Structure 1
């Protein structure tokens, strides 16, 4: 984590301050509940909460200094205070200065789907050879990325940083802050389409990652996607940046040669080392493809295939993605981090592996599709015809169009609509006493993991 005196921090920010200039800040916190001893507390002013209101809690937990918006009243007097026009910009400037100081190699990852899993896989592999840190949870925004950078230890050899976006320009900002040695694009899809005019614009926004990749760095992307390839061809990329691709097509730098899976995980062979299997305790062919991107990054950083194979067995997975839980007689595939047509299909493909006398799919609203929302939800319901499903349960207003699509295009016998997750949870609870399998999938905003949390208590 960053270690810096109060005076040094104020000089980086060109800011006025009061307090002991020689006192040493050890780490940064943006949440008063997670403050550690000698932290710099950075209060964030959001739409619904204002971090400045929690300064007393931060001090009680051990904060010795705080950034403070100059237009906020009542700054504390018992710790050091650094006055800034905007605490978020202050956080970003500190992160930029710290990044420039670090000798850490950084792998930066973005994509409409798969970036978090690719982050986890890449970090798992690299940790077998290097002191490795990664983005924790979903800290992948203009606040989360600088917070992650400031959390890196000075002896960190490799960091894996996830970069998310909702609008054009955000990846360019983050990649220039992170300055990755290796940049990865996992996919491009209709995510946050309400902020873009077309999927082509989304692809261009994702390609902003190349603007921050260091000279002589490596750009890795999913080569089977024609949209990504066309966007790459039409994007100005420095000649010093190398390019490699992954996918199922033989034209790629690394391609998936064989693939097998069961409920316990996946096995696959790759084009560059086709004699032996790679194993992962993750589910879905998309995870094998994510692993290919991670393998290319690991090879670039000098790892052997033996080290890579061992690393694939040591992946620490981020929660709420394809978690398999057993509650009484019911098996639940809990995949509640986000929802879009691509991730729903991936979850359904995995759910096909589950065997039980009753298979139930619970789908919630997908957010961010604007005038396309009704058709997009309807098409998801229509496409359920490709899967063995005994009952479909939908949650939310837009998800009713999934139910309509399923009624008009599938043979699912029972289709039930609920307005909220509480109603759905009460109904689903009867399956705990039955040999059943349930897939739960919805946008992060809905917090559908609360269904499983409630069921665990029954």
Structure 2
């Protein structure tokens, strides 16, 4: 976002302390004083442990041109324009909403328990073949990340792919009304955030909130294979002007995925038995993510040729289904997040590779509520369906994965207390022709294990 300070004051309908020229422009916003660059608007946020107002001097020294400031905070700075607001987080959100309406672009909003980041990456790769396209970077998909994503969009953007997450009812409603998508996609419903929402039905209900901000004549795309999601959609009062399409591996749907095949180069699949596509990502589940993206791309006028080019031009967000070759071993790094659906999807992916020796490294799956122990145990039990030689677990809840695997599989099962112990155990396998899956919730930081392994190339 490039705007004059005066324009920002008007966008926020705010008061200000004029310590400099309000006609000067700011170039982008930043909420981290350490990352402020020359010309930024610094927005100090109240975090769990920190108050961004305490770091305003560092922001100014790094080149902040203006700052937002909560009225009840003492000692506002005296050498930049200070824009006074009641709440800096609310002001960030209001600024983003105002800026979004000033841009002439198509916006696609994406949510889902699993696959939203992959779908975002796939769709952005496709749309970039026809439009000036930007997407949510990293995992900026919450009440802070979404407005930062909107404010990072350039003036000439033609298509924006915005990822939206949620942990409670009402959160997605708030985000989608800020984003105002032209197309909304729900990838699926899983048990992530079951701890907060209490039931799978509530999770489905929360996901369908994405239609509340959808433009009046917009397109709603969702996974038709999920009965809970289908029920939630049918129970929602969706305006008749909104078009609805489904995708999945079961008929009938508008994007029917079939003939899925995978190798180390990616996944091929047919859509509606009419066209075969090849996706430059591994994981058979990504065929459905691609189907959702293709439905959205076709609604925006892209040709099959452009779509196929885009499927080979994907900028992938890290730590998801990454293949890393280290000496003789092939590492499947899927350490960004984990829940039962995504863990089994990762096992499905590993199953497709022809290795005689396979190791599954599984960490805690977080935010699964009161039945977390049984959910972890069930995952361990479900591993009986896979050809895996060893199951290595780390984390308090992952002990139940280990127990389920011991009770139901023939695999060698071992529990580790620390990442250092796990790393030491894995190192000799780098000289063995084997495949190693690393899977766990982000809080487990299992990417650090992969990072240490890569130092031994």
Aligned to 2:15: 16
Distance in 2 (alpha carbons) for counterparts of 1:100 and 1:430: 56
Distance in 1 (alpha carbons) for counterparts of 2:306 and 2:10: 43
Aligned to 1:415: 413
Shift of 1:357: 4.4
Aligned to 1:450: 448
3-state DSSP class of the match of 1:285? coil
- Judge conservation of contact 2:359–2:436 (CA < 8 Å) in 1: yes
Distance in 1 (alpha carbons) for counterparts of 2:290 and 2:271: 10
- Judge conservation of contact 1:35–1:58 (CA < 8 Å) in 2: yes
Shift of 1:367: 0.7
Counting matched residue pairs gives 454
Distance in 2 (alpha carbons) for counterparts of 1:120 and 1:337: 15
- Judge conservation of contact 1:246–1:293 (CA < 8 Å) in 2: yes
User: Structure 1 stretch 41-50 or stretch 123-132: which is displaced more?
Assistant: 41-50
2:283 equivalent to 1:287: no
Distance in 2 (alpha carbons) for counterparts of 1:54 and 1:427: 43
- Judge conservation of contact 1:42–1:66 (CA < 8 Å) in 2: yes
- Judge conservation of contact 1:329–1:436 (CA < 8 Å) in 2: yes
- Judge conservation of contact 1:108–1:178 (CA < 8 Å) in 2: yes
Aligned to 2:380: 381
- Judge conservation of contact 2:364–2:395 (CA < 8 Å) in 1: yes
Shift of 1:194: 0.8
Aligned to 2:92: 91
3-state DSSP class of the match of 2:37? coil
Structure-2 change in CA distance of 1:391 and 1:54 (3 Å): same
Structure 2 counterparts to residues 127-138 of structure 1, below 5 A: 127-138=128-139
Distance in 2 (alpha carbons) for counterparts of 1:434 and 1:215: 57
Aligned to 1:431: 429
Shift of 1:272: 6.3
Distance in 1 (alpha carbons) for counterparts of 2:51 and 2:389: 47
Aligned to 1:55: 56
Deviations 1:281-325 (A, max 9, x none): 211221010011001100110111111111111011100001111
2:402 equivalent to 1:399: no
Shift of 1:263: 1.9
Aligned to 1:201: 202
Deviations 1:114-154 (A, max 9, x none): 10000000000000000000000000001100111111111
Shift of 1:25: 1.2
Aligned to 2:311: 312
Distance in 2 (alpha carbons) for counterparts of 1:33 and 1:327: 35
Structure 2 counterparts to residues 239-318 of structure 1, below 5 A: 239-271=240-272, 273-274=274-275, 277-318=276-317
Structure-2 change in CA distance of 1:72 and 1:296 (3 Å): same
Shift of 1:75: 2.8
Structure 2 counterparts to residues 27-426 of structure 1, below 5 A: 27-271=28-272, 273-274=274-275, 277-412=276-411, 414-426=412-424
Shift of 1:105: 0.6
Distance in 2 (alpha carbons) for counterparts of 1:223 and 1:187: 9
Aligned to 1:441: 439
- Judge conservation of contact 1:254–1:272 (CA < 8 Å) in 2: no
Distance in 1 (alpha carbons) for counterparts of 2:61 and 2:226: 52
User: Structure 1 stretch 331-340 or stretch 51-60: which is displaced more?
Assistant: 51-60
Distance in 2 (alpha carbons) for counterparts of 1:451 and 1:71: 45
Distance in 2 (alpha carbons) for counterparts of 1:407 and 1:353: 23
Structure-2 change in CA distance of 1:154 and 1:272 (3 Å): farther
What's the C-alpha RMSD, in Å, of the aligned pairs?
1.4
Distance in 1 (alpha carbons) for counterparts of 2:56 and 2:288: 45
3-state DSSP class of the match of 1:325? strand
- Judge conservation of contact 1:259–1:269 (CA < 8 Å) in 2: yes
